Amino acid sequence: MKKTDVIIIGAGPVGLFAVHQLGIKGLKAVVIDNLDKAGGQCIELYPDKPIYDIPAVPECTGEQLTSRLIEQIKPFNTEIFLNERVDEVRQEKNNWVVKTNNKNQFLAPNIIIAGGVGSFEPRKISLKEAEKLEGKSVFYAVKNKEQFKDKKISIFGGGDSALDWTLELSKFSNVTLIHRRNDFRGAQHTLSELRKLEKEGKVSIKTPCQIDSLDNENELKSITVKFDDGKTEKIKTDVILGFFGLIMKLGPIAEWGLNMDKKTIEVNSENFETNKKGIFAAGDICSYPGKLKLILSGFHEVALASVECFKRARPNEKYRFEFTTSSKTIKDRLGKK
Amino acid sequence: MPKITYKDYQGSSKTIEVESGLSVMEGAIQNEIPGIDADCGGSMACATCHVYVDDKWFEKIPKAQDAENDMIDMAFEPKKNSRLSCQIIVNDELDGLEVTTPEKQT
């Protein structure tokens, strides 16, 4: 079990800035996020979209904001655990124990939940049979492509992931690409490569159509797809790969005994603590009278929460408010002269 | 004010007046119509305000841009008459518009 001062759930802009606010107070933190990179919604939903309401930054993209925050917290050498979802939170005397789906465990007196709208998870095929076969013959990510060698694969989706895996897996498998409309969304060279493979008969493309049923008893043998005009077609299939993008799910957060208001966590606006001592919520996921879901509000929220985190992590020390411009201690922590 | 009818997948419906200039999504959120989540707040970055537009209205509203269709690919059970309700801006010509929310958004 890893001990720290604060466990931050969510590596979006607010979770990252929390590292900074804790770090300048001399507190150690770890960050856990279910995505494969830091940045949260900024990086997953709108990496290229400009943001205009970050104070003193007239315009920046989600990606730029993220990379600047990462640079800003570099001096604190904080470990970010990616591809991990926090599944369990339990109390142990004055501390909290956090367990992830990757079996990592952390212990700290404080948790800051900066989880946005929840964790990003792949959108799945809504057929019951697909649920049963998930992990066996229905997948939403490729972890090891060897496992898909010499198979009949039906890939669903029209974006980059669907296209890239169609090209890649068609090298050693029989791939059918299925999409709900005729247009694909991908890089030009990927699209021309795809059309070339289709012409050569190496990839089969079915549009505009969607999955209708899986034909299986214990093992997937074929699927039936339905075209827009109502016609159906059976496709021999061993493996289904679905790339329908990511959705945000609140997930296990709802089960931690926190007072919730719909999909948000209730906090006080003095230190953004929840109804549980030592568990804080900040950013889009918290709610209090007058709450605005702005990145800048989240920055303010973690700044205040970090003070209470300090008091809980260092009960024998007195908290002293300091400015970064004048405090020698803070400058040392930032590695500045 | 234009009246918009929101139906759910089971058939029950609610008609409300939505101010011109607001989106169909905003009309739903402000009036606590269930079935529209709008997780991203209307920046066309998620697909949780997905609705099916009544056939007789589908051709009358301005067509979806590519970016909207790309997002709809990621919606729950998209159909030919799928739209993101954050991209349908209410005006007097849309008085009487009917949309149906999907069984679920995520």
In the structure, what pLDDT confidence band is assigned to residue A176 with cuts at 50, 70 and 90? very high
Chain A residues with CB inside 8 Å of B106's CB?
123, 247-249
Which of A159, A180, A293 lies at the smallest CB-CB distance from B78? A180
Evaluate whether A5 touches A27 at the Cβ level (below 8 Å): yes
Residues A2-121+247-333, CATH architecture: 3-Layer(bba) Sandwich (3.50)
Residues B3-100, CATH architecture: Roll (3.10)
Question: How many Å from the N-terminal Cα to the C-terminal Cα in chain A?
Answer: 35
Evaluate whether A32 touches A19 at the Cβ level (below 8 Å): no
Same fold, A2-121+247-333 and A124-244: yes
Rounded to whole angstroms, how far apart are CA atoms A83 and A158?
Answer: 24
| Largest separation between any pair of C-alpha atoms in chain A | 73
Which of B46, B69, B70 lies at the smallest CB-CB distance from A248? B46
- Per the listing, tokens 């159909």 go with B79
Mean pLDDT calculated for residue range A113-132: 90
User: 10 Å Cβ neighbour count for A211?
Assistant: 20
Give a three-class secondary structure readout of chain A: CEECCEEEECCCHHHHHHHHHHHCCCCCEEEECCCCCCCCHHHHCCCCCEECCECCECCEEHHHHHHHHHHHCHHHCCEEECCCCEEEEEEECCEEEEEECCCCEEEECEEEECCCCCEEEECCCCCHHHHHCECCCEECCCCCHHHHCCCEEEEECCCHHHHHHHHHHCCCCEEEEECCCCCCCCCHHHHHHHHHHHHCCCEEEECCEEEEEEEECCCEEEEEEEECCCCEEEEECCEEEECCCEEEECHHHHHCCCCEECCEEECCCCCCECCCCCEEECHHHEECCCCCCCHHHHHHHHHHHHHHHHHHHCCCCCCCCCCCCCCHHHHHHCCCC
Supply the pTM of this predicted model: 0.79
Task: Report pLDDT for A74.
Answer: 97
At A274-312, the pLDDT tens digits run 999 999 999 999 999 999 999 999 999 999 999 999 999
In chain A, the percentage of residues whose pLDDT exceeds 70 is: 100
Rounded to whole angstroms, how far apart are CA atoms A100 and A102?
Answer: 5
This model of the complex carries an ipTM of 0.77
Chain B residues with CB inside 8 Å of A123's CB?
74, 76, 106
The phi and psi torsions of A251 (rounded to 5 degrees) equal 65, -145
- Tell me how close the Cα of B12 comes to any Cα of chain A, in angstroms: 22
Rounded to whole angstroms, how far apart are CA atoms B105 and A247?
Answer: 9
Interface of B with A in 8-67 (CB under 8 A): 39-41, 43, 45-48, 66
**Structure tokens that stand for A79 in this block:** 């470990």
Residues A124-244, CATH architecture: 3-Layer(bba) Sandwich (3.50)
A48 touches chain B (CB under 8 A): no
B45 and A41 within 8 Å at the Cβ level: the answer is yes
Which of B45, B47, B80 lies at the smallest CB-CB distance from A228? B80
Q: What is the dihedral of CA A115, A287, A305, B46, to 10 degrees?
A: 30
A181 touches chain B (CB under 8 A): yes
User: 10 Å Cβ neighbour count for A330?
Assistant: 17
Amino acid at A214: L
- Reference B14, options B105, B98, B103, B102; nearest CA is B98
A183 and B76 within 8 Å at the Cβ level: the answer is no
At A74-84, the pLDDT tens digits run 999 999 999 99
In the structure, what pLDDT confidence band is assigned to residue A187 with cuts at 50, 70 and 90? confident
Evaluate whether A73 touches A23 at the Cβ level (below 8 Å): yes
At B35-93, the pLDDT tens digits run 998 888 887 888 999 999 999 999 999 999 988 998 998 899 899 999 999 999 999 99
Category of A147 on φ-ψ map: left (φ > 0), alpha (ψ -120 to 50) or beta? alpha
Site from A63, A248, A262 to mutate, B interface, most B CB atoms within 10 angstroms: A248
Q: Give the residue extent of every domain in chain A.
A: 2-121+247-333, 124-244
